[in-house]
Structure formats: structure tokens, C-alpha cells
Structure 1
Amino acid sequence: MNMLWLILGDFNCVKSPTEKQLGATPTWYELKDFAECCLSLGLNDAPTTGCYFTWYSNSESNPVWCKLDRVLFNNEWLEVGLLCNAHFNPSGCLSDHSPGIVSILDLFASQPKPFRFFNMWADHQDFMATVENGWNLNMDGTTQFSFCRKLKALKGHLKAFNNLHFSHISVKAKDADLALQDAQIQLEFDPENAAIRDLVGELRKKAVFLAEAERHFYYQKAKLHFLKMGNRNTKFFHDMKRNATKSSILAITKTDGSTITSAMEIGQEFVSYFTSLLGTQVQTLPVDNAVFNWGPKLSSELALELCRVVTPEEVKQALFRISENKAPSPDGYSACFFKRAWHIVGDQVCTAVLDFFRSSRLLR
């Protein structure tokens, strides 16, 4: 079910022996049903603050504390960039359970979603035409300015291209596979039907393409190069998301004792705190130029090589040495984009880079 789930309350069971203090230690037989249920449904524990043990037996002779109350959310929360956390207060005198307060946070509410080039786009048959249509624009200005404006203008074309062909890639891949299976069943009952045979071939190509695109999508989003390329990478991606959620800082206590939960305020507090520790100035000594004459030095020939004019071929060689799976540059474009579309954008890439070496100025 591709919906957002949020389940909270008293589950009357702990997930591990560490969630119970005093009393009989729970066995794996007692824990496995709840643990397997959460695993099969893809449910994750929301980060919590306050009381860790949310239930108390209220027995002075046989005290027991357990974490029975919890907040669970499914993987779809991670996909859309939502995050929730729960704060459990002391139980007080009216109940043996801790009251919980759930906060729902939108990680991208305060900022637009940045552009990112996904390498799967480059494998689509309409990719080159999309790049050509978006690139062949007349831009006035300096070489670097024109190049940057073209990259920026192309983002709109690529976003529309993504929405048309790759939006909700997992759903598209699953639907394509189901359509292929339906056609294969029809062909089994009517093996002499040439139209169905042709349809099966077309649907197989589409299903394979979308399955590969989905795999590359999660491989790139996980941003790790040691992933096995033989699987869909969805499980690893969600594991990475869960780990990021667990390690996220949702609340901190300031030096004055107050608690803040705003992501912006938390960031500002960290900057202020470490600035007070590390932001002091120290006295520096003057540089002794004689130091540069010590040790080995470059020959005149090698020194001239450092000053040699960079060629377009060197620019291309340097770019093509970059792995296509490296993290993209700040503008969102990966090396894959420039490699695949080099015959379209290559001349202007070289011109912009050579302009930097000639002028020693980089457009910001």
C-alpha cells in the first residue's frame, strides 16, 4: 500500500530485551511476532525524547519498567521527506503509561527541492532530443555566464522530462512488470497469435528498462559506490534513510536550560556554540621567504609545464576520468550528464573552463 502510515499507542510488547528493566527477561519467542510484523510492513520507530520506558508497574515490591508505547511510521514517510518524532512525559498519577506527543516535520518545507540529474535519464531514447531542445538557446554575456545560464535553463526541460517518463519510478516499474506478466499469460493460451508475441516483446523491453532505471535511481540516491549492482538497491536505500532518521538531532538543550526543536534554531545554536570555542583569533608569525629555498625544487622545464596553456583535449580527459556515480556538483549535474551529452555541450564546457584559466576568474 503506497500510503503514509503512522501508528502509535500501547503495543503491549517490547521489541528487544533492552526495552524492559527488572522482572523476567523476555524470550525471543515472545518478541518475534511483533518484530516480524514491523519488518514485513516496513515500519520504523520514530526518534523519541523524554522517558525511554513508557510503562511502570506501579508496584513497590515488584517494580518493572517497559517500553510498550511507541510511534511507528512506514517507508513512504522517508520517500516524501517527512519525519516525525515523539516526546514521552512522565506518567504522573492518573496512568501507568507515559503520555506521548508526536511532532511531524517536513524536511523540505523551508526550502525548494534542489535539482539533481539522475543518470537513468541518459538511457532514455528521448534524452538527447530533450538536451538539444533545451541547449540550443542564444544567451548573451560572457562565456562562463552563457554556459551557466544554459545549464540553468536546461533544468526546466529535464524536470519536465523526468515527470513524463520517470516520476514514481517504482510504481512504473511494478506496473510494467505486471503488464508483461498479463501478456505472457495471454500468449500461453494463444501461442500462435503474432500480435500478442509482438506485444510481449515490447512490454519486456519496457519492463527491463524501467527495472534498470529503478535500480540506478536507488543506487544513485544511496550515494555509496560499494553497493551490489545485481539488486534493486531499494532495501539498502531505505536502511540508509532509517539510519539517517535515527541519527538526526530533533531537540537540544541550550546553555540557559531551554529546549529548542526547530531545525534552523538547532543549526544556529551549534554554530554559536562552536564559534565561542573556536572563533578566537591567535597571533601569527610572519612568513620567512628563505624557507622556500630549502629542499628540492622543480626544474625550469617542469616549472614551464605548470604554466602551459590548458587544451580542450585535457579538459575532456579530466572530465571523462570522473566516475558517473560520483556525487553531483552543487548545481545538480553529474559527470554522467556531460559525458553522455558531450557532442552537444562539450564545446561550451571546454570554452568556459579555458576562459577560467585565461582570466583567473570563476563566475559565482
Structure 2
Amino acid sequence: MKIASWNIRGFNCPLKYSEVKDYLVVNKIDIMALLETRVKEHKASKIIKKKFSNWHVVNHHESCSTFHLSIVYGCNDPLDRHRLPVLLQLPLQNLGWCLDMLDFNDCLASCHLDDLTCTGVDMTLTNKQDSVTRVWSKLDRVLANPGFISSFPNAFGHFQEPGISDHSPVLVHVSHDKKVAKRFSFLNSWAGHPDYLQTVKAAWDTPLEGSPMYCFFQKLKSVKHALTHFHKQHFSNISQRVESAKDALVECQHNLVSNPFSDSLIQEERLLIAEYTKLKDHEFSILSQRAKIKDIQDSDCSSKYFFAKISKRTHQQVIGGIHDHHGKLHMGFSSVSATFNQYYQDLLGHSSTTTPLDTDFISSGAVVNSSDGHFLIREISPAEIRDALFSMDSNSSPGIDGFSAGFFKSAWNIIAKDFCKV
């Protein structure tokens, strides 16, 4: 589904009728919102009947209760703008919805709204004057709440050229593309489990033959498979495990009310408290790492907050649309993937003649002296490698294989020998 919004800056001109109709047809729009039309009620029905008879049209003189979509124009009057936060805190905020908004920032935090990932032109407003007095500004935005992003993780907006208006139209592409499988990512909370090092060692000690680099990465692959199974066994559905542990603790304490001096129930309560606390710590560690949140206390937020942040980060990484070398815009996961593949096939799939390296030109420039040269190629000691590794933040972003510095530090005694060979 494609949803578009355009601040048309007056819709009483026949030229603009044609522009809007062409935009609808070319972009195959399903839902279109026109802002600041400045059309009177008696004239609106005539325009609709004459130019848009095959469209179902709802204007601000009418109401429609079968679909929830908010297209908000930030009024120039500050007093009128203060009414908008109240409107946004209606029951609609619990649904999946998005807004196209102009000059409206104050209520975003209270309504849990974030910018949808957008492509296209950056400056969405221009006064179309000469170079001395011309103004460019970013006024138009597409915002979405966590419910919308969760329902449509691949949704994105695309701002196009303004054409005859001062504002750029925005096209929101909403699709149910299949979700890409989650890639492996090392979780620091694994290292605290008593079976963690044993799991890593069993996978790492697999005998292999080949170069040190080949053996190292083959062992990483073995560890990846082992830790994936390890996660499913001990950490999967961590929030549900926390809830189950809490329910078991509450039930035990309920039984203690009727039998407060039972040694077995007292011992069971202690074990359940320890289990609940451990799982709660694991949940906090996992969610904060995935959400990339630092310096935050457990009491400051709930798992709902973490999941909202994780969903936002995941959505920001989505490449919703891309132009090919012909300038054609491709949207949707399948089309974008095919465009990327085609680009790199064309780029790397053909041989070409390269210019030989001019060694005389290189030697005529500044070069390192003999002492510096020997220092650069000297063998690096294991102690230097370890110091460099352990100076890194354990929460730093992982490499493309999913292993962060936290893994190498936690399993150093197992992997050190192979690590230093590489």
C-alpha cells in the first residue's frame, strides 16, 4: 500500500488538478492527503465530481470513522498548535498509526512518536525566490508510533521534488515484506552462565587443518552454532521466562501466607527469588545491549521501553528504497535486494585493464627510514595484542560475524593462541 501527502499550497488552479492526478497515476497511490488546499466547501464537491470522480474523497468538512490516518498541519497560530497534543492523546495512540506533520515537535516524546525512515530530498520546503532571498527548510516529516513500526517494519517514506508547490510530496510505502532472519549477535549476558566457557571450549577445540586465518574463522563458525543452541536452551524468550519466574514466586509466597513457618516453602522462596533475580538481570542486560542503551538504571524503564527502542533501531537500518543507475526508484525488500545484487554484478562481474603501479613516482616521495621500517614490520607480542583487545569496550558494535569484543575478552583463555596467530 502507498500513502502520500502533499502540501499543495492552494488547490483552486486547474494546473494543480492535473499535477495531482498525474502524481496519483505515476506513483500508483492508494491513499492521498492534500494539505492547505484553501478550497471552500461548496467548491470542493465540484472539483471532486469533475476531476476525481473515481476516488473516494473525505475532506475536512466531513468525517470518516472506518479508517485511522492522521494528516496534521501545524497552524501558524501558536494558540491553535497547542490543541494538537491533546488530539494526539486520544485512544488512537494505542493503535498502529503514523502522521505526516509540519512544524510540530513538542508532543513527540509524550506520544511516543519517532521519524519514519525516509529517503529523497532533504529540504522539503522552498519559497521559490531568487538566490539572494531563497529559503530552504525541512518542515515536512513522517512520524510513526511503536505500534505502526512493529506492524510494518519495512515501511519508509520518500520525499520527491516539489513540482509546482512549495512543499515536497511524501510517499509512504507500506508493505508486508517477509522479515529478514535475525543475524547472530553475541550477548554479554551469556558469559555469566556457568556452562558458557565449557560450551565455547567444546566448539573451539575442534581439530582443523589449514592456514591460521582459515582455522580461526572455521572455529568461530563452530562457536556461533554452539552459542545459538546455547541461547535457545538458556536465554530464549527471556521476558516470558521472567514472567514465569515471577508467577512461581508469587504463588510460593501466597502459599506461605497460609503456612508461614514451612521450612520447605521458605527454602523454595529463596531459590525462586534467586532465579527471578538472575533472569531479571539477564533480561535487562540483553535488552539494553540490543537497544544500544548505556548508563541507564533498571528502575528507569520497562521491557516495553526496551522493545520500543529495539524496534526503532531495527527500523532505522531498513533500506526502503534505492535508485538504480537509470534513476528509477525501487521500493520494497525484494526489489531493493535485486537492485543491490545487479549493481555489484555489473561492477565486479567484468574484467578491466588497470594502470601499472609507478614505483619510481612512489620512491620519489617521502618514505620512512630504515629504523621506522623495521619497527612497522616487527613481530607483535601476545601481550600487546591482549592489551589492545582488553582496552576495547565490551559493548562495542560486533563485526559482520556477530562477535563483539566482549566475546574475545570473555573467552580469551580458550582462544588466545589462535587469536594471536591471526
> Structure 2-normalised TM-score?
0.56
Change in 2 beyond 3 A, CA 1:348/1:74: same
Find the aligned partners of 2:375 and 2:322 in 1 and give their Cα distance: 54
Residue 349 (structure 2) pairs with residue 292 (structure 1): no
> Cα RMSD between the aligned structures?
4.4
Kindly indicate whether residue 307 of structure 2 is the aligned counterpart of residue 214 of structure 1: no
The answer for the alignment partner of 1:77 in structure 2 is: 150
Give the deviation of 1:347 after TM superposition: 2.0
Q: Distance in 1 between matches of 2:212 and 2:222?
A: 16
Is contact 1:44-1:75 (8 Å) kept? yes
Say whether the 8 Å CA contact 1:222–1:236 is kept in structure 2: yes
Give me the whole-angstrom Cα distance separating, in 1, the residues matched to 2:149 and 2:271: 31
1:105 match: 177
CA contact (8 A) 2:154 2:332 kept: no
Which one-letter code corresponds to 1:153 in the other structure? Answer: S
* Offset, 1:21: 11
Q: What residue in structure 1 maps to residue 274 of structure 2?
A: 205
TM-superposed CA distance for 1:306, in Å, is 3.1
Show the counterpart of 1:228: 296
Write the distance in 1 (CA, Å) between the matches of 2:316 and 2:196: 38
Structure 1 residues 103-252: aligned runs within 5 Å: 103-108=175-180, 112-224=181-293, 226-230=294-298, 231=300, 234=303, 235-239=305-309, 241-242=311-312, 245=315, 250-251=320-321
The equivalent residue for 2:379 is: 309
Give the distance between the partners of 1:127 and 1:196, measured in 2 at CA: 31
Is contact 1:187-1:193 (8 Å) kept? Answer: yes
Percent identity between the two aligned chains:
23
Q: For residues 255 and 154 of structure 1, what CA distance do their matches in structure 2 show?
A: 41
Number of equivalences: 291
| Cα distance in 2 for residues equivalent to 1:219 and 1:36 | 30
Q: Deviations over 1:234-260 (max 9, x none)?
A: 415514533764795645687979653
State the one-letter code of the partner of 2:98: D
Identify the match of residue 331 of structure 1 among 386, 396, 401: 401
Output the amino acid matched with 2:253.
Q
C-alpha distance in structure 2 between counterparts of 1:292 and 1:236, whole Å: 53
1:251–1:266 Cα contact (<8 Å) kept? yes
1:35 to 89, 105, 130: 89
Q: TM-score, normalised by structure 1?
A: 0.63
**1:160 and 1:265, CA in 2 relative to 1: closer, same or farther beyond 3 A?**
same
Code of the residue aligned with 2:147 in structure 1: it is N
Gaps of 5+ in 1: 1-7, 50-69, 88-99, 354-364
| Cα gap change, 1:215 to 1:287, in 2 (>3 Å) | farther
SS of corresponding position for 2:176:
strand
SS at match of 1:292: coil
1:309 and 1:117 mapped to 2: Cα distance? 30
Contact 2:150 2:311 in 1 (8 A): no
CA distance in structure 2 between the partners assigned to 1:160 and 1:249 by the alignment: 30
Q: How far, CA to CA, are the matches of 1:137 and 1:255 in structure 2?
A: 47
Tell me by how many angstroms 1:133 deviates: 2.1
Aligned in 2, Cα 1:335/1:125: closer, same or farther, shift over 3 Å? same
Q: CA deviation at 1:163?
A: 0.8
SS at match of 1:260: strand
Structure 2 regions of 5+ residues with no counterpart? Answer: 1-64, 100-115, 119-142, 159-171, 348-353
> Counterpart amino acid of 1:106?
K
Q: 1:85 to 1:72 in 2, by over 3 A?
A: farther
Q: What do residues 7-57 of structure 1 show as CA deviations (whole Å, max 9, x unaligned)? A: x95248x58564x999x95874x8647635355x474539699xxxxxxxx
> Which of residues 331, 346, 350 is equivalent to 1:261?
331
SS in 2 for 1:74: helix
Over 3 Å counting, the alpha-carbon distance change for 1:71 and 1:142 in structure 2 is: closer
| Aligned residue in 2 for 1:66 | none
Displacement of 1:174? 2.0
Q: 1:178 to 1:308 in 2, by over 3 A?
A: same
Classify the secondary structure of the residue corresponding to 1:103: coil
